[in-house]
Amino acid sequence: MTDQLQHQHRFYHPTSIFAGKQRAQQTIDLSSLIVVDGKVCWDLYIDGLVVSSDGNLLDALAVAIKVALSDTGIPKVNVSVSAASDEEPEVDVSDEEFLQFDTSGVPVIITLTKVGRHYIVDATSEEESQMSSAVSVSVNRHGQICGLTKRGGAGLDPGVIFDMISVAKHVSQQFISLLDSEIAAAEAEEEAQ
Tens digits of residue pLDDT in 57-86: 889 899 998 898 888 888 888 887 665 566
The values of phi and psi at residue 39, to 5°, are -130, -50
Decide if pLDDT at 138 tops 90: yes
**How many angstroms separate the CA atoms of 149 and 16, rounded?**
13
186: left (phi over 0), alpha (psi -120 to 50) or beta: alpha
**How many angstroms separate the CA atoms of 165 and 138, rounded?**
10
Domain boundaries, the chain: 2-73+105-192
CATH superfamily of this structure's domain 2-73+105-192: GHMP Kinase, N-terminal domain (3.30.230.70)
Mean pLDDT of 114-138: 90
What single DSSP character describes residue 88? Answer: P
Q: What is the pLDDT of residue 81?
A: 67
